[in-house]
Homo-oligomer: A and B are copies of this chain.
Amino acid sequence: MAVRIDTRYTERFVTKEQVSAMQPRIASAHEQLHSGTGLGNDFIGWLNLPTDYDKEEFARIKQAAAKIRSDSDVLVVIGIGGSYLGARAAIEYLKSPNYNLATNGGPQIFFSGCNISSDALNELFMLCEGKRVSVNMISKSGTTTEPAIAFRAFKKYMEERYGKDGARERIYCTTDRAKGTLKALATTEGYETFVVPDNVGGRFSVLTAVGLLPIAAAGVDIDKLMEGARLAQNELCDTDIEKNPCYKYAAVRNALYEAGFSTELLVSYEPAFQMMNEWWKQLYGESEGKDTKGIFPASAIFSTDLHSLGQYIQDGARILFETVCVFDQPKQQRVIEDDPANVDGLNFLTGMTMDEVNKKAFAGTVLAHVDGGVPNIALNIDTWSESDLGYLIYFFEKACAISGYVLGVNPFNQPGVEAYKKNMFALLGKPGYESQKAELEARLAE
């Protein structure tokens, strides 16, 4: 298996019996998920996605990506939440957090429409100056405020710059298969479209066109990405938590939660993992954070954050547990060279690879944190390959669904996300929200 789990460093905090007691609940969650009888069962399309996807569309995604790579210096991806986090995470993980500085042959990829910042949007137009631009608008409906504002501006920009016909060649819409304003617009304008499947929620959509088009545009082999996910789909089905690391992860984190650990810190020792942390935070926070329960998802990159959150983790309130993603190998090795003068006193490291030092930092940190009262789960991942990323994505998705069922929530809805939107629409005077406006304004004036 490309992802393995080591839970030795949780045993001081939850007993083997407490974890074993999760076994029937995990088996029940598995049954609900695979039989499609659980809560939110109209959103489990991701479960069989690695085998059951639209092959014709997949080929079109690769063609569109090749076209973008040949005719564009910049790809602007417009989307919010699950419509950008997965793609951004995959690109930084497989290419680099400095992808836009270091890209060699592919377009720079900017993510827009995920905030309402005039500064960010103005700057993006500046960054497009003098460059050949394509746009990928990603929205199931087309009416989500943040991406819709950005797309309104970019559609105008593209038409002014390339003409209606030219813009048509450079705007790609990932949206509902049949309905919604974006689909209607794309049909009218003749934009190429890709599908946000009805049965896959945003935070589970990275292996649909939502994630795949930007990822492929960055030069990633998406066949291998899907291949890894397919391996995970096949391998992560055993209901025995001792044979299925994905289910063991769900079991142990729920046992820790029930033992009073409220917050999970996802950790990696590589900066390239940072956006994966962000993707994971949406996946877990949005799936579990409801009905006034759920593990709070936080994250860190070590060793840098050992000099930031490290003090708190070691000695602060005992509410944390850590899940550390450890890679067997980095992408590249680098040996620490000798300094005859040994000014820095580091010659005891001479000849070691940085990765050996990084691994000792990990081992030393685990022991220190466990001694300080912080349970640690390790997820051991083979490599940074496309295939292993596909595997890891599926691993996290499935563990999340199982966790949600064990927790007793619907892991596939997000009713709480509507609350701010309703208030915002009312305050902005959106038609249909008039009745709430006065009430909210009165509350703000109190």
Question: Is residue A178 contacting chain B, with contact meaning CB distance below 8 A?
Answer: no
Against B, the Cβ 8 Å flags (1 = close, 0 = not) of A299-310 are 001111011111
Q: Which listed residue (B332, B339, B416) contacts A310, Cβ 8 A?
A: B416
Complex contact A145–B419 (CB within 8 A)? no
Chain B residues with CB under 8 Å of A82's CB are 307
Verify B296–A114 contact, CB threshold 8 A: no
Contact check, B358 vs A116: say whether CB atoms are below 8 A apart: yes
* A28: B residues at CB distance < 8 A: none
Cβ < 8 Å to B, chain A residues 420-434: 420-431
Please measure, in the bound complex, the distance between the C-alpha atom of A358 and the C-alpha atom of B146, giving whole angstroms: 10
Asked if A156 is at the interface (CB within 8 A of a chain B CB), the reply is yes
Report yes or no: A270 in contact with B339, Cβ–Cβ below 8 A. no
Tell me if A353 counts as interface (CB < 8 A to partner B).
yes
Q: Does A59 contact B (CB under 8 A)?
A: no
The copy count of this chain in the complex is 2
A429 to B349: give the CA distance in the assembly, Å. 8
Question: Which one of A13-21, A30-38, A225-233, A285-293 is at the B interface?
Answer: A285-293
Task: Evaluate whether A420 and B364 lie within 8 angstroms (CB atoms) in the complex, with A303-B80, A308-B285, A309-B285 already known.
Answer: yes
In the complex, the chain B residue whose C-beta lies closest to that of A202 is B307
Residues in B neighbouring A98, C-beta threshold 8 A:
123, 127
Q: CB distance B317 to A262 under 8 Å?
A: yes
Q: Is A1 an interface residue (CB 8 A)?
A: no
Judge if A107 is at the interface, Cβ distance under 8 Å.
no
Question: Are A304 and B115 in contact, CB atoms less than 8 angstroms apart?
Answer: yes
Residue A193 lies at the interface, judged by CB distance under 8 Å to chain B:
no
Q: Does A360 contact B (CB under 8 A)?
A: yes
Q: Is residue A190 within 8 Å, beta carbon to beta carbon, of the partner chain? A: no
B-binding segment of A46-54, A216-224, A367-375: A367-375
A303 to B149, CA, bound (A): 13
Q: Could you tell me if A316 and B292 are in contact, using CB atoms closer than 8 angstroms?
A: yes
Q: Is the CB of A343 within 8 A of B285?
A: no
Using Cβ atoms and an 8 Å threshold, which residues of chain B touch A122?
Answer: 332, 334
A281 to chain B, nearest CB (A): 6
A residues with a Cβ closer than 8 A to B are: 8, 80-82, 85, 96, 98, 100-102, 108, 114-123, 126-127, 142-143, 145-146, 148-149, 151-153, 156, 181-182, 184-185, 202, 262-263, 269-272, 278, 281-282, 285-286, 288-298, 301-304, 306-320, 330-334, 336-337, 339, 343-346, 348-349, 352-355, 357-358, 360-361, 363-365, 367-369, 371-373, 414-417, 419-431, 440, 443-444, 446
The list of the 8 closest CB pairs from A to B, nearest first, reads: A289-B312, A81-B307, A364-B423, A289-B316, A314-B416, A282-B308, A364-B424, A118-B334
